[in-house]
Amino acid sequence: MNVFTKAAELLAFTGELRNKGMCIGFVPTMGALHKGHLSLVRESVLQSDFTICSIFVNPTQFNDPKDLKEYPRTLETDIVLLENEGCDMLFLPEVEEIYPRGMGYHLNFDAGYLENILEGEFRPGHFKGVAQVVYRLLELVQADRVFMGEKDFQQLAVVEKLIRDTGLEVVLVRCETVREPDGLAMSSRNLRLDTKARKEAGAIYDTLIKCREWVNEYTVEEIRDLALKKLSQGGLKPEYFELVDPVTLSILTPGRVEGPVVACVAAYAGSVRLIDNMRIG
């Protein structure tokens, strides 16, 4: 597996791949890789001629400096895992390679109402940082397909809008959330959970599964109240729980649930903030 650290070198190399007519698959990550990330790499290997993975802990998408400082970093292990999965290239840039004009430069992109609900409401500026780094990486990698997991459901909606609005010629491939045996969505943040918090975190999946029963019995507001109560009883500190339209992500209005719906949740297990979602209707 080749490792590139310079943006100019990567851009020149991927340009050569495109000139040869090769299909480039891309998996953007922040490292601390787990089975969820590796499932994206495997899917890219299956669907592409050449697979590139990036590891870059993007400072512009963290609205909490402590969260950025504590984000897990396991580079040596990550490299071995990527090689074992058949990844062809790793892009490992420093901040100045991603933001040559400085982190104060902002991409001219508006995520609209997605910036003001769910993750957007509780992590101000987060999606501006996500859009900024994804656009820059796609610009350099020149990928035909980018593979991302549905655990970050709202992020996928932002990236899809980014692709449409900027005219990037890339297809976003959605991949299913990979879970631990007890249902907890795999996340790099899980590495920060102590024994007690790890046990409590299982209440997120339990609540989402329970919602599949509630959706046929209760109203939107009743389901929200039941979910928040169950999360709290499980030892978690819920930040939000909402039922949203699976396409627009608009939050459902009070009343009976009709048609497909996705339950989205964010909660703290100890000091670690976790998110998850599930199609329940």
Q: How far apart are CA 224 and CA 211, in angstroms?
A: 9
Sheet holding 2-4, edge to edge: 2-4, 89-91, 50-55, 24-29, 145-149, 171-175
Interstrand relation of 262-269 and 237-244 (parallel, antiparallel or unpaired): antiparallel
Q: How far apart are CA 23 and CA 19, in angstroms?
A: 10
CA proximity to 115, closest of 61, 190, 44, 55? 61
Q: How far apart are CA 61 and CA 100, in angstroms?
A: 17
Q: How far apart are CA 9 and CA 56, in angstroms?
A: 17
* Token reading at 79: 């490299």
Beta bridge partners of 146: 26, 172
* Per-residue model confidence as pLDDT tens digits over 256-270: 999 999 999 999 999
Mean pLDDT across the stretch 68-76?
95
Look at residue 104 in the predicted model and tell me its pLDDT: 80
* Per-residue model confidence as pLDDT tens digits over 51-63: 999 999 999 999 8
* Token reading at 93: 């840039």
Q: Is 126 a catalytic residue?
A: no
Q: Is the pLDDT of residue 106 over 80?
A: no
- Distances in whole angstroms, Cα of residue 182 to Cα of each of 164, 193, 209: 37, 15, 12
Q: Where are the alpha helices (DSSP H) in the chain?
A: 7-19, 35-47, 65-70, 75-84, 95-98, 119-122, 126-141, 153-166, 195-214, 220-233
Beta bridge partners of 172: 146
Mean pLDDT across the stretch 108-119?
96
118: phi > 0 → left, psi -120 to 50 → alpha, else beta; which? left
* Per-residue model confidence as pLDDT tens digits over 196-207: 999 999 999 999
Which residue in the list 34, 37, 106, 126 is annotated as catalytic?
A: 37
Scan for tokens 């497909």, then name that residue: 260
List, in order of start, the domains of the chain with CATH numbers. 2-175 (3.40.50.620), 188-276 (3.30.1300.10)
- Distances in whole angstroms, Cα of residue 151 to Cα of each of 37, 84, 164, 274: 11, 24, 21, 10
Q: How far apart are CA 220 and CA 229, in angstroms?
A: 14
- Distances in whole angstroms, Cα of residue 156 to Cα of each of 153, 211, 274, 279: 5, 22, 17, 15
Q: Is the pLDDT of residue 281 over 90?
A: no
Look at residue 3 in the predicted model and tell me its pLDDT: 98
The verdict on pTM exceeding 0.85 is: yes
